[in-house]
Structure 1
């Protein structure tokens, strides 16, 4: 288990050890743990003295974005991008927070990219209370997610633009990857929007009016990204269907060519097979022009059959 702590008092920022930060009275005490084992539960129970409900919310193995009122405080779970490799079905790392008065406890199980800029803001003295901290985290998460969603849209635009010029297998792989990422992110952005909206409307003196405005802006941005991801998912499904139809059309075209070639050579095979029998009585077998006569006869048959298929527009798609 590792972590850090910040104490903001009268505009001054300190970073004491975790144990020393507990119980301090200040404008903001932020205690963060990075862990995925049972030691976090023991520390939050024994050292921090949090309630079992809050400890379970902070250390649960699986979480979705949420916001629940707990007494005079709130439990908030958010999801953001991570520098670690995550599963396609769960592509966003979680941060679980408990805010009460001037104190915020937060826990992450995977590295969260948004923590770095928020820590920089705290050290620069730009974050002064719990409302500022949570609003800054929400804004940092949504600002990082926005380019990722735009990149998914651009990737799908590229697939749609080159749908006729690139191989169907390559495009289907790219479309499936984009669709999978969009579905994985959309799972969390809709509840994240709802959690931020609920937090912005939650009563409490630790949330100032500007904090609520920032949270509402982050919720609106999350809603827009969720709508964009839904659009990407639907477009990816349509593109996949188009590629499937294109592949089926290519197979039909090739099958048609094979069928035409087979029908051209079928009578020729019959003629050559008939004349190639090793029996007596084959007409013109001893004539010097017989070979070239059979060749020209086969050529005429092939031309007639090909002309028939051309006249019937079999080669036009």
Structure 2
């Protein structure tokens, strides 16, 4: 049961520690616990029933918890708060958005979470819960915020490092081959920033919310996570702009290479154009061609062609056409 981050699970905390219980024991034990956490897999057929066990949850919050398409947000509703966060998924090969959503309904002594895809931060938070580090809703939300930002930080930094390597290789002869990598980095930066920017706003709003179950240390951790999201959003914006500049530079470099190749082809064509004219003129099958029956005529024509080609090539070299 503990190895599957996507399945529905229930945790309770009392003064003597935290433990995981079955869904069948939820109604009997959760109401008497100092703090309880219910996590529901959104794809389960009974997910609605699991979530609705919270008696005083507003209908709007219930609908938002089970919604499949979400963006980071924080909305205060009565005695509780609805928080949507995005973090890296546990299954990196899965399709869809690179950041997985987790929806949280927090109220006094209880948190209900719902996710449709496994979240990478889930297992670290579960370990902290079972270790007794999470004792109230504020601790749980702060733990999710911390684990999500700590997992995202190296991913965002890696995008910048990859772009640094690409920028340092732009002058190499094979620089045109990295255009696809630049496009992938830019797409990842845009995708991450689309969720990280509103997530920062959601965490800042929650840290300033008038909720009695948020303690001062919880607000401090939430603000710290918000600051890290702000820094990541700024870095992603810089990566996006640098990627656009790198793509333009690669495009210019490719155009310059094509122009140089076209120039070389033009020079070669100009060298051989008079030679082609000469050989075509002497190759006509008509009478009257000078020295047609002389033994040295062929080698004479070859010598004239060599002299002409050397002269034309020397003129191109003297006028620096081959270095343009």
TM-score, structure 2 as length reference: 0.93
Aligned CA RMSD, in angstroms, stands at 1.5
**Does residue 1:139 correspond to 2:142, yes or no?**
no
Residue aligning to 1:20: 25
How far apart in 1 are the matches of 2:34 and 2:183? Answer: 48
Q: 1:255 aligns with which of 251, 256, 262?
A: 262
CA contact (8 A) 1:54 1:75 kept: yes
- Aligned partners of 2:116 and 2:18: how far apart in 1? 26
TM-score, normalised by the number of residues in structure 1: 0.95
Note the C-alpha offset of 1:37. 5.4
- Distance of 1:55 and 1:150 partners within structure 2: 36
Aligned residues: 315
Shift in Å, 1:299? 1.0
Task: Determine if contact 1:86/1:92 at 8 Å carries over to the other structure.
Answer: no
Selected match of 2:7 from 2, 14, 18: 2
The 8 Å contact of residues 51 and 112 in structure 2, kept in 1 or not, is answered as: no
- Please report how far the alpha carbon of residue 26 of structure 1 lies from its aligned counterpart in structure 2 after TM superposition: 2.6
Deviation at residue 312 of structure 1 after TM alignment:
1.6
Distance 1:68 1:166 in 2: 53
- Could you tell me which residue of structure 1 aligns to residue 226 of structure 2? 219
In the TM superposition, residue 132 of structure 1 has moved relative to its aligned partner by 0.5
Q: In the alignment, which of 64, 71, 74 is matched to residue 78 of structure 2?
A: 71
Q: Is 1:180 paired with 2:187?
A: yes
Matched, 1:198 2:213: no
* 1:118-155: CA deviation from partner (whole Å, max 9, x where unpaired): 11011111111110010011000000000111111111
Q: Does 1:281 align with 2:298?
A: no
Q: Is 1:292 the counterpart of 2:299 in the alignment?
A: yes
Q: Following the alignment from structure 1 to structure 2, what is the Cα–Cα distance between the partners of residues 292 and 68?
A: 93
124, 134, 156: which is aligned to 2:131?
A: 124
User: Quick one: distance in 2 between partners of 1:36 and 1:163?
Assistant: 47
* Per-residue Cα deviation, 1:32-88 (whole angstroms, up to 9, x for no partner): 01223553224433x444432112111111110000001011000000001223447
Between stretches 174-183 and 255-264, larger displacement belongs to 174-183
User: In 2, Cα distance between the equivalents of 1:116 and 1:253?
Assistant: 56
Tell me the CA shift for residue 300 of structure 1. Answer: 1.3
> Structure 1 regions of 5+ residues with no counterpart?
none
Which SS does the other structure have where 1:97 is aligned? strand
1:60 corresponds to 2:67: yes
Give deviations 1:241-263, integer Å, cap 9, x for gaps: 11111100000010000000000
